[in-house]
Amino acid sequence: MTDETEPEGPVLYHLDDSCGIEDVEEGNAYAGYVNGTADYGVFVSLNDSVSGLIHESNLASPLEVGEETKVRVEEIRDDGNLSLTPVHMHDYDEMYVGSDGVEEGGGERTPLGEIVEGDEVTVEAEVLSVRQTGGPTIFTLADGTGTVDAAAFVGAGERAYPEVDEGDAVRIGGEVESREGDLQIETEELELLEGDEGDDVRRRLSEALDERAEPPELEPLVDSEILRDLYPALRRVAKRVRRAVLKDRPVVVRHHADADGMASGVAVERAVFSLLDEVTDDPEAQYHRFSRMPSRAPFYEMEDVTRDLNYALKDVERHGHPKPVVLMLDNGSTAEDADAYRALEAYDIPVFVVDHHSPDDVIETYVEEHVNPYLEGGDYSVTSGMLCVELARLIEPSVEDELLHVPAVAGKGDHSEASEMEEYVELAREQGYDEAHVDDVADALDYESYQLKYDDGRHIINHILDVEENDVHDELVPHLKSLAEEAFERQTDAARPQIDEISLPNGATLCTLDVENYTHKFTFPGPGKTTGRLHDEKVEEHDGNVVTVGHGPDFCVIRAQGVGINIPEIVDELQDEIEGAGVDGGGHLVVGSIKFVQGMKEEVLETLYSKIADAPLKEQDN
């Protein structure tokens, strides 16, 4: 076998299905797969008709049927049998052998990640998308090492190679040129790889992509049993996100519009942006391959998913982008999310959830991965922001240093009392953020997220969190903190005199407030945070054992301290017990909200209050 362009280093040969035993050479390494096992070894196929045996004495570890492997041909026996041994190769070239015994198609295949402007190349790749322009047809290709467009022209606006579609495996030859700063292959020939050959290419490319997408081996930033238990699931989410980025698949992030949610979304955003910088030269990649949007409700509303689907489908149609993957951060764990997930399921869009709200089993059928401390025996005090900083490190470890203070901000925003919180606060202090400043950042985030409404506020939020180089953080955070405090004082001064206090039979104090009539509407803080601030005052006044309920015409928000209520369970009970009330809602065990129809408000609240009165007291919330 000869070829003028044959590489000087190690070579792994791929045997075309048209090849026979006469095309195999002793001493060469070949790609194959296990097609059978026996007591004395395993059988490995090099193609559909050529196979050999690895004797059990040469096996360092077991091989399973169907597993891909690399083997060296030690001997071609007179009877045509091949004696094989496993081979481990690094930094090797790949050559493709046809029935004539030379590299089929003019020589070695060039990985997409290694193409250079001006080179004549032959590549094998999977087609991610096909886009017809007014001139050429554009095929977006991926092979696990990179993503590149290939342009094929047969006539202005005429579809080239109509037999080729998304998901197909192809072999393309052409010259590499630069188009608007991006490399592009000007296609001279394109072959659709079908049957076993196509399957083999897709399998090989998927294997290469999986290897590149594998997250680094890391330990949690703090000593935490619950984080260690959650790390395998976080690794799986990180791998899927990395895989999406490497395959040029857009990533859509939805998160709750508060400090914990913002911290969650920004942490993942910074990691994905860093990975994009590594894998693409496209300066616009951050905008058309990633989006982050806050959600007012702590669940995926149909309004939000409809908007996300609309944008995604437009990008598929107009720009040939693949459909996205969706990450739900600091929301997404409850039954209220199911309707949105079913809409995504109809379009085969996968969903990954990283949340700390009390979960409902119903969503497990709709999501690819669900990371939640409740699923490992923990609770809401390990916040989503803490989890998402750990996730970000797994997606792209280079962002770790800029995020070390962020888990403490997230925990402060959600009033975490977890043991992990103390370690995260200490970690922030080591980065120059004392506890008071961390608290101020959380309040500034809450205030600004309210002002942003449905906008991601990318740079402003980054400056508040201090994760993007800026010279405004030290001035901006105190300013927003003061505005937040002024707004809280204005709101609570008006509402405080209207609070009704009831001493319950179980020894707790129930505080209720009509937030519809006794707070300023459509301004910060909203009903939830107003109720939370007044609740904190009452807890201090009564030394714990307080439940505070802020109610409007068709909703109520609940905060509890020292009383063993379970808001998701209460919601389920109200649904069963009060017919026609339209009860819905949820949240954490002792922090949440309930919705109902306005005409049933009195009955819903009375039933709710009786359940609070029957709840046991606790020494301390978990």
Place of tokens 């791998």: 239
Q: How many domains in the chain?
A: 4
Give per-residue pLDDT as tens, 391-426.
999 999 999 999 999 999 999 999 998 999 999 999
pLDDT higher than threshold 80 for residue 295: yes
Residue pair 113/145 in contact by the 8 Å Cβ criterion:
yes
Q: Does residue 497 lie within any of the structural domains?
A: no
Condensed to tens digits (0 to 9), the pLDDT of residues 130-168 reads 888 889 999 989 887 888 899 999 888 899 999 999 889
Residues with Cβ within 8 Å of residue 483, at least 6 apart in sequence? 447
Same domain for 508 and 400, yes or no, is no
The answer on 61 and 169 residing in a single domain is no
Q: Where a domain ends, among 160, 189, 211?
A: 211
Q: Is the pLDDT of residue 621 over 60?
A: no
Three-class SS state of 598: helix
Which domain range does residue 324 map to? Answer: 218-406
Quote the Cα angle for 328-334-336, to 5°: 95
* One domain, residues 25 and 142: no
The Cβ of residue 441 has, within 10 Å, a number of other Cβ atoms equal to 28
Contact 423, 223 (CB under 8 A): yes
Cis omega (within 30 of 0) for bond into 397: no
Chosen domain end from 97, 132, 149: 97
Band (pLDDT 50/70/90 cuts) for residue 42 is very high
Amino acid type, 51: S
Assess if residue 428 is contained within a domain: no
Q: In this structure, are 260 and 395 located in the same domain?
A: yes
Copy the structure tokens of residue 257.
Answer: 């519009």
Confidence check: pLDDT of 5 > 50: no
Residues 283, 474 contacting (CB under 8 angstroms): no
pLDDT value at 101 more than 70:
no
pLDDT for 305 beyond 90 = yes
CATH, residue 575: 3.10.310.40
398 and 257 inside one domain:
yes
Statement to judge: residues 193 and 230 lie in one domain: no
* Residue 542 belongs to a domain: yes
Question: Strand 509-514 to strand 546-551: parallel, antiparallel, or no bridges (unpaired)?
Answer: parallel
pTM for the complete prediction? 0.76
Residue (of 529, 238, 254, 214) closest to 387 by Cα position: 238
Q: Are 570 and 533 in contact (CB under 8 A)?
A: no
Please give the share of the chain, as a percent, with pLDDT higher than 70: 96
Task: Report if residue 439 sits inside a domain.
Answer: no
Helices 195-213 and 225-246: crossing angle in degrees, nearest 10, is 130
Do residues 607 and 512 both lie within one domain? Answer: yes
CA distances (Å), origin 266, targets 48, 263, 273: 50, 5, 10
Q: Residues 35-51: what's their mean pLDDT?
A: 90
R_g (Cα) of the chain, nearest Å: 30
- For residue 119, with 0-12 CB atoms within 10 Å meaning exposed, 13-18 middle and 19 or more buried, which class applies? middle
**3-state SS, residue 500:** strand
How does pLDDT run across 55-95, given as a tens digit for each residue? 998 888 888 888 889 999 999 988 888 999 999 887 777 78
The reply to whether 253 falls in a domain is yes
Q: Are strands 369-371 and 555-561 parallel, antiparallel or unpaired?
A: unpaired
Last residue of a domain, one of 406, 424, 441: 406
Alpha helices in 302-434 (DSSP H): 302-319, 338-346, 384-395, 400-403, 406-413, 419-430
Average pLDDT in the 214-243 region?
96
Q: Give the alpha-carbon dihedral of 466, 469, 473, 474, to 10 degrees.
A: 110
